[in-house]
Copies of this chain bind each other. A is one copy, B any other.
Amino acid sequence: MKRLTKDDWVQFGLKVLKNEGYSQLKAGTLAKRLNVSRGSFYWHFEDLNAFHAALIAEFWSVSENIASTLGSNHGPHQKLQFLMHATQQADFELERAFRAWGRVHQDVGLQIERLDQMRLAVVHSIVKDAIEVPEKSESLAKFTYAAAIGLMTLGKEKVGLTDTDLAGVIDALLGLESA
């Protein structure tokens, strides 16, 4: 029987959070599914709070990393495409789970707000460079980011909006050419 590291627990925690929601983040439940006892859990983590904090930290570092890779794209069109795609990407289900968790767990809620502020600022700076009427940039950025979060909340698969359709709408909204 393979023994576990702290990171094994964290990664498994994120997986469970993503698929079942935070209500399943319990020492006993997780231990059983990892074929160990709670003794393992309490060796790696002081208590449940420490475990939660580790999950939050991991989520934040991943999310932050994604947002910061944005600068490598050139042109507002490409940047926006990339950002919208990023917020709709594979692990948007994890963020969705975190957002739900954030509604009842203050620490999580604060990280989510921090993430939103960061990304909104990025979107705003892009939009400002992209449109011709600067005083409209703030409303447009907020609306655009809200749409991204809405698509994530509703579930990309449920809404059924293709990437190209999405690109068309955004370009129309901002008066860009989809070149």
Binding site for B on A (CB under 8 A): 20-23, 96-97, 99-100, 103-104, 113, 116, 136, 138-140, 142-151, 153-154, 158-161, 165-166, 168-169, 172-173
Q: Give the chain B neighbours of A113 by CB distance below 8 A.
A: 158
- Given A140-B169, A158-B116: A103 and B100 interface contact (C-beta under 8 Å): yes
Per a CB cutoff under 8 Å, which of B20, B139, B149, B168 touches A166?
B139
Describe A's contact surface by its main secondary structure. helix
Copies of this protein in the assembly total: 2
- Are A161 and B142 interface neighbours, CB within 8 A? yes
- Are B99 and A153 interface neighbours, CB within 8 A? yes
Q: Give the chain B neighbours of A20 by CB distance below 8 A.
A: 104
